[in-house]
Amino acid sequence: MTQGISTAAAVIVGGGSGTRFGGDKLTGVIAGKPLIAHTLLAFEASTGISAIVLVVPAGREEEFRSIAQNAGISKLTAVVSGGSHRHESVLNGLNTLPAGIDFAAIHDAARPLITPELIARTLETASREGAAAVAAPVTDTLHRIDSSGHAAGTVDRSLLRAMQTPQVFRVQEIVSIFDSAEGIPTDEVSVAIAAGKKVALVEHAEPNLKVTWPQDVIMAEALLLDRTKLGLGS
């Protein structure tokens, strides 16, 4: 188990419709496996994770359970349907966790490049700080725009971070925060910040992209195949 955490589980969220992608990205084959299988295998290999709950589009639970079984995922404890919005899907997953789980690592199903090492770092940081999330420095120059779409000013990127997953919280705390949240949050960190909670960021430089557009598959597959050649892949 990861030092400092003995009861952590993953909630892997893939309940969306795939509208921006233009189809079903999670079951599409990438580097020889369904995309979701790569994601699941990283958490399967993480010694700090004792259980996995997978959140999927309603009516497709058996399809995804079969994919997990074929991939050799032994930690899967439940496959549940998602809600209309991300936070509803996350809550469905959190409410299905086995009893006795202290921390939940909430992760986008469409981030197949996550590694056991980065999962471990995030769990360890959460054990010290109470909550942690993966983040990447912003490397592009950023500009504000005016109402006509023209560049209007430069934004200081030194204090900006691109949020990724997993995002790790104590289960009861994040459930309580969600229950009292207003509006439609885009991720768990935004909900926690609104509730006044501090979240430590685990910065990294390794690829952890979310497959959102069809062209993202090309990059993700190249990186996964490269890891396989180096003996680091799933």
Region of poorest pLDDT, from 8-17, 32-41, 68-77, 129-138: 8-17
Q: Is residue 156 part of a domain?
A: no
Query: What is the rounded distance in angstroms from the CA atom of residue 155 to the CA atom of residue 67?
Result: 44
Task: Give the other-Cβ count within 10 Å of 4's Cβ.
Answer: 14
Query: What is the rounded distance in angstroms from the CA atom of residue 12 to the CA atom of residue 110?
Result: 9
Strand partners, 203: 135
- In terms of C-beta density within 10 A (0-12 exposed, 13-18 middle, 19 or more buried), how is residue 193 classed? middle
pLDDT at res. 227:
85
Q: What is the mean pLDDT of residues 62-67?
A: 98
Tokens of 35: 């995309």
In this structure, are residues 105 and 123 in contact, taking their beta carbons and an 8 Å threshold? yes
pLDDT at res. 53:
98
Q: Is residue 142 part of a domain?
A: no
pLDDT at 13 over 60: yes
What is the phi-psi region of residue 31: left when phi exceeds 0, alpha when psi lies from -120 to 50, beta otherwise? left
Task: Give the chain's domain count.
Answer: 1
Domain extent at residue 35: 8-135+161-229
Q: Is residue 152 part of a domain?
A: no
- Give the domain CATH number at 23: 3.90.550.10
Q: Is residue 149 part of a domain?
A: no
Q: Is residue 1 part of a domain?
A: no
Tokens of 166: 């997993």
Q: Is residue 81 part of a domain?
A: yes
Q: Is residue 211 part of a domain?
A: yes
For the stretch 144-189, pLDDT in tens is 999 999 999 999 999 999 999 999 999 999 999 998 888 888 899 9
